[in-house]
Amino acid sequence: MMQIPYFRNINTVKCDRCELRYPKREGNCPHCSELSENEVYELKARIEQEASGTRNLGLTMLLIAGIALVVLFVVASSE
């Protein structure tokens, strides 16, 4: 997801509006303070979509790893 390494080392708060994290000392959320309600809605939808895409990618990798293991096992046992 939209994780900026720089943000990890300092105090961050979660924005009530867009649910993204931002540095506490900024006071205002840099992600959504200039966005309209509609734009915040779209931003959240996009983040949600990206998160589910990452989950799917993880599952696909797991599946590929599983298939590779089975293939290896079959090849090894046939020799």
- For residue 17, which of 52, 38, 50 has the smallest C-alpha distance? 38
Task: Return the number of the residue (48 or 60) whose C-beta is nearest Zn ion.
Answer: 48
> Using the rule CB under 5 A, which residue among 7, 12, 17, 44 binds Zn ion?
17
CA 70 to chain centre: 30
Tell the smallest beta-carbon distance from residue 6 to Zn ion (Å). Answer: 17
Question: Strand ranges (DSSP E) for 1-79?
Answer: 12-14, 21-23
Tell the smallest beta-carbon distance from residue 31 to Zn ion (Å). Answer: 4
User: For binding to Zn ion (CB under 5 A), which residues are involved?
Assistant: 15, 17-18, 29, 31-32
